[in-house]
């Protein structure tokens, strides 16, 4: 989508109005191309990893 807009003389990122007025079809195709199931699965893996490897702030109890 970025390439489509910039190769046609547009500036990235476009304003919201410009995105709708000039590039709605391209934007719609871009959104339809996203596999949101994979995005959600990846997000869950990242959150799980961060929780498993989190360094929690010390509340002082471990230092006594």
Q: Which of 26, 32, 37 lies closest to 4, judged by CA? A: 26
User: Are 12 and 6 contacting, i.e. CB atoms less than 8 angstroms apart?
Assistant: yes
Q: What is the band of 3 on the pLDDT scale with cuts at 50, 70, 90? A: confident
Residue 64 pLDDT exceeds 60: no
Per-residue pLDDT reduced to its tens digit, 7-55: 888 888 888 898 888 888 888 888 899 888 887 887 777 777 777 776 6
Which residues neighbour 1 within 8 Å (Cβ) at sequence distance 6 or greater? Answer: 23, 26, 27, 30
Give the CA distances from residue 48 to residues 39, 45, 58, 60, 64, in Å, rounded to whole numbers and listed in that order.
14, 5, 21, 26, 30
Res 59: pLDDT: 63
Res 60: pLDDT: 64
Res 30: pLDDT: 87
């Amino acid at each position: 989508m970025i390439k489509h807009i910039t190769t046609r003389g547009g500036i990235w990122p476009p304003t919201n109005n410009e995105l709708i007025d000039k590039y709605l079809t391209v934007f719609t195709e871009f959104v339809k191309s996203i596999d949101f199931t994979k995005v959600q699965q990846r997000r869950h893996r990242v959150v799980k990893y961060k929780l498993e490897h989190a360094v929690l702030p010390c509340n002082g109890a471990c230092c006594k």
